[in-house]
Structure 1
Amino acid sequence: MRSSFMPPRQVKIGDAAAFVGSTPRAIRHYHEIGLLPEPERGSDGRRRYGYEDMIRLLWIRRTADAGIALDDIRDAFATGTDSAGAESGEDVAGILERLEETLAEREAELRRQRAAVRRMRTEGSRTGLLSDFVTERLKSAPEGSLRQADLDSLLVTERILGPLGAAVQATRFVVLATHPALREESDRVDDAEEALDDGVAVDDPRVAQVAAERRAFESALEAVIEESGPGADDDALFDAWDTLHPAADGAGEADSVSAFEATGWMPYDFSPARLRCMELAAELAADPSARDNTAAQSYRAEPSS
């Protein structure tokens, strides 16, 4: 007995959406972004979808379900021919290869993001933003002794000089965290520098005085770093960096910026008097005879327990 059932040659958008498990709104979006060519319209002005259109819709739905962005699906189809041509093994393989590359890139990015979140949860929200090379250097500091300003400074240094430069600077904060007398003097000199605001003239005697105090403190800190703490391991630090990055020159990484660029990009709210103080301190540092060994001896306190 002959069957009376005759499948439709074309279907409306609602039926097409129901078959592929999508929605009419989604299909209209496919048309808008060029992912699915506009089909013929019936006498009533409504879209009609044939077999090839349904095949294309099934491809779109399955690849989208796999996590592929619609723009990537569109680009993949664009490298082939039409939906009929995409049925050939060669065209299908080309599309799948591109989609797999996209997935691999996203998977790698997802792993990187998850690793970053894990580090932030393990090390702390701010410490975890620094590279492993820097956080390893900070582990010798007593828990909770590092200040937010210390970590902020390391973040800036790592951006400019890379992880190696930030790891060297981390030595400073570890020593300050373990030597209360040095930390107290550091705070005093910092406060004195901040007091050189816009109301202080660049030739005010206080500018030169604070510069000398800064130089004396830095001499004391350098002496302690040379004699104890993580400063004694600087050679091992550079050796470890060379092992991890045999081709690097230690000046930074691809994502870092030069000090010259940073000068124009990173804002610091320093008054002219404070900038002049920094210049004078640098001049004193460049003059070996200006080192205050007496001051250095006075800050060589025993590390805190």
Structure 2
Amino acid sequence: MRADSRPRLALVPGEPAGIGPELAVRLAQQPTAGNLVAFADPDTLQSAAAALSLPLRLVDPEQDSAPGVLPLHAVRQAVPSRFGQTDPANAASTIACLRAAAEACLGGHLGGMVTGPIHKAAINAGGIEYSGTTELLAGWAGCEVVMMLATPELRVALATTHLPLAEVPAAITRRSLETTLRILHRDLGERFGIAAPRIIVLGLNPHAGEDGLLGREEIETLAPVLESLRAEGFQLEGPLPADTAFLPHRLQRADAVLAMYHDQGLPVLKYSGFERAVNITLGLPYPRVAVDHGTALDLAGRGIALPDSLVAAEALCARLAARQRTA
């Protein structure tokens, strides 16, 4: 038995030319709720530490993390990274970091995964089809997942994720919506300890379709699914117009909001608490929590990127992993 009782977590900094490595270095300077193991190129982490003038000692992945000490599962890049300049040659190693971390979690060696931002264009330019880490992890685990972003005050899950807006209506079917709501309901209960989750479901169209005048998806797809799940005991409110669903009196009686597409719900959440928000993948066999921001290439190496979201992601992932371990 390990002397350190903290849940062991994978830490994947993400795009090596972005702010992810330096945020990981900042996180490694402080006491953490999880026992971290980084999956990254050691030279990239040391370069980030040098740019920030912070101490960093990389040790064997079986050792325990401590302030200034970071266990490392080394994944070498094809070429050295330069702050703010992505290189498609490093796409494979960026994905390899995620793959190695996912395998460690799926194999039960680690209790959860914390991830920094990844640059979609750089991965695709490297010849790897990539729409997002959420989708990638779901494929490796062979399960259906739901993306949910959260601040201490608000949780917003998504019925669709990284899709062009024109493809969203066809992607929302009765089956997909029911699956999403079941995953959201289950994980709010099992992972977050909410005994009877209350979920607000947004409509797809303006004014939630206005009785079919502005679209029939609410009548033909959303409402029948909600009625069926209510009959099973789900507490669901909606479909509601998105422009009034986030009013305080509604949110006070909800544990989460389900938005139909990415930019329907996330601008509200990020406006209300950008630096404190995290991205959670529901439905995986293990907890995965990510930052809520991008690679910020223009800030990389300058020492001004704030680590708040990564700090919040690590703290939440540790809590979820500890809860799962106890359960």
For the aligned pair, the TM-score class normalised by the smaller chain equals under 0.3
TM-score by length of 2: 0.20
Structure number with bigger Rg: 1
Which gives a bigger RCO, structure 1 or 2 (Cα 8 Å, sep 6+)?
2
Determine which structure has the larger helix proportion and give its number.
Answer: 1
Determine which structure has the larger strand proportion and give its number.
Answer: 2
TM-score by length of 1: 0.21
